[in-house]
Amino acid sequence: MSEPGSDETPPETTSQTSHIEDVVQSPVSHSQHPAKPYSPPKPDSLTFPTPKAFLDSLQPIPIEQVEDNNQRCPICWKLYGEVSDPGFDNTEMPVRLRCGHVYGDKCLASTFRAPETRYHRLRPLSFSSCSRKGCVLGQKMHEFLSSQDAIDGFRDIGTMLKHACDVEVDRGHQLFGEYWSPILQEVAHNRNKLTDIILMENALILDYDTKARHTHPLNEYSQSTWALLANMEDFDEPLPPITATASLLGHEVQLPAEVDPSDLFINEPTPPSTGSNLELPPMPAYFQPTPNLIAVSAAQSSSDATQTWQEKLAHTTNLDKLSALHKGKQKEKSNESKIAEDKKAYAEKLKAWEQQKAAVQLQREQAHAAYELKMRQEQEILKRANMALLASKLVGIYNEYIKHREEVRDISQDSFSRSYYASVIVHLTRTQELSIQIEAPPVERHSNDDEDGTEFDLSKTTVVLKRSNCQRCNPAEKRLVAATQPIPTEIWWRTRPKGPDDCPLCHKVLYIRETPFHSTDCSA
């Protein structure tokens, strides 16, 4: 065992220091060796399939098989085979992992802890001297029935429930106490059909009717209503524009293509008289026509001289141009009348479309109102059925309370309890089990520095367990008679794994984590 003041340097520290010095002395350019993107370690052929298989493989090896520079546990820095400290069992024996690194067996056992199995006992409701919750519930019902001069216990307890669960009245704590009021309201305001309700000392068991949960009131709509709901989105589209025609392009009227508008204002030149001198002064050189223009004019003059009389007769005259202008004005008037007709047709179509959309909107609102009304009616029927079932359970509890009333001690006060909700799916092979597995409770952290936290303490809470049958291996359609499930005696779970799943030195994946809550009991 090394002394605290010794100058012995750990071999791992020495190797790391020398490695850092080598890196400093021989720097490598980042441009020559670019850094690769980080990829997390992945399981390989040497990875154990489960944590249990990994923990079972941790067998110590002889100290002689460990290298001389690796005689200490990298976790606690204790020599292998060193005597335990006074009052502790911390002698470390070497264990070699598949990645090649060696650790102490005690450190590995504490670092890679397997998930633990926790149990929570469910206590049935009773009226003995050690039972507090049952006595409070029976006493509260007896006080109410005595004050009402009850004749029909079922009806009066139903009235008591109605007053306790009514939000406007809000007499739940007054009628049933601080503990039972929120539990009974949990049942009364449940939005699913219940087949059984079990009240216990520290739990509330709710069995759901899975067939009713998958029934939707919209299934009873007619085919015409479904077609309306499916196609009503088409009327949200904007009205498609009418195809543009020549009459909708505006009031601009274009002349025929064969008529040049500039030709309408060309007159034949009048030859000057010989008695007057109409010669122009000489034109400057920069105003003279270009040689190209002179050549074009000469070619045009030669072509006019070679035209025959038939070609000259076929040439468009000013009269033809005036006639074309008259026809263009008539076409403009016809286009204006066409525009008026198209606008009128468009207005009629728009009005019909708006009426159709208003009718569809009205039908949509009526269908939605009918759906909401049906949902409210079904919820009211469902609430009454759950309340009747709860009232029958309370009547049975009250009858048991009357039988043991002489043994029950007087309890004037009760305390509020937190609720923990858990949901389970009961498979066909586990319908009669009394021990039910649930998901691990969450971890509570009481401060920002509390990394590990503490597990949710179920001993100080009321467990609300919701059970429903598996629809794959035990569907409601195949159950001729709904079998009553037994009252569970306990619930259990496996704690969430806290330790790592890789080697602390090389981070090689050692085993594959298992899901804390994973049921493979479905026989479908």
pLDDT the model gives residue 483:
58
**Residues 390, 477 share a domain:** yes
Kindly state the average pLDDT of the residues 111-120.
Answer: 86
Q: Are residues 77 and 167 in the same domain?
A: no
What CATH number is attached to the domain comprising 520?
3.30.40
Q: Answer yes or no: do 392 and 479 share one domain.
A: yes
Supply 218's token pair: 């919209």
Dump pLDDT digits (tens) for 415-447. Answer: 777 888 998 888 877 778 889 888 888 776 555
Residue 37's pLDDT is what? 86
Judged against a pLDDT cut of 70, whether residue 127 lies above it is answered with: yes
* Domain co-membership, 511 together with 466: no
Say if 272 falls within a structural domain: no
Per the CB < 8 A criterion, the answer to whether 324 and 259 are in contact is yes
State how far the Cα of 387 lies from the Cα of 392, in Å rounded to an integer. 9
Q: Verify that 107 and 204 share a domain, yes or no.
A: no
Tell whether 353 is covered by a domain.
Answer: no
**pLDDT, average across residues 177-183:** 86
Half-sphere exposure of 346 (CA within 13 A, CB side): 14
Q: Is residue 405 a part of any domain in this protein?
A: yes
Q: Are residues 90 and 147 in the same domain?
A: no
Q: Above pLDDT 70, what percent of the chain?
A: 64
Are 487 and 394 in a shared domain? yes
Q: How does the average pLDDT of the chain come out, rounded?
A: 74
- Which amino acid is residue 143, in one-letter code? E
| pLDDT at residue number 62 | 93
445 plus 521 within the same structural domain: no
490-494/435-437 β-pairing: parallel
The predicted structure's pLDDT at residue 412 = 56
One domain for residues 84 and 181: no
DSSP character at residue 47: S
The helix, strand and coil proportions of the chain, stated in percent and rounded to the nearest 5, come to: 45, 10, 45
Residue keyed to tokens 């704690």: 495
Least confident of 63-77, 90-104, 224-238, 419-433: 224-238
Percentage of the residues of the chain whose pLDDT score is greater than 90: 19
Q: Which of 119, 127, 118 is nearest to 201 (CA)?
A: 127
Domains identified in the chain, total number: 2
User: Distance between CA 11 and CA 67 in Å, rounded?
Assistant: 11
399 within domain boundaries: yes
Taking residues 117-134, what's their average pLDDT? Answer: 82
Domain housing 96: 37-115+499-524
**Same domain, yes or no, for 101 and 191?**
no
- What is the C-alpha separation between 155 and 394, in angstroms, rounded? 11
Same domain, 94 and 179: no
Contacts 24+ apart (CB under 8 A), 166-175: 175/140, 175/144
Do residue 122 and residue 197 come from a single domain? Answer: yes
Higher pLDDT, 104 or 295: 104
Evaluate whether residue 26 is within a structural domain: no
Question: Is residue 5 over pLDDT 80?
Answer: no
Q: Is residue 90 domain-resident?
A: yes
pLDDT in tens, 227-240: 444 444 443 444 44
Evaluate whether residue 487 is within a structural domain: yes
Tokens of 194: 């219940």
Ramachandran class of 151: left when φ > 0, alpha when ψ lies in -120 to 50, beta otherwise: alpha
Give the whole-angstrom CA distance, residue 17 versus residue 492.
50
For residue 513, being part of any structural domain is answered with: yes
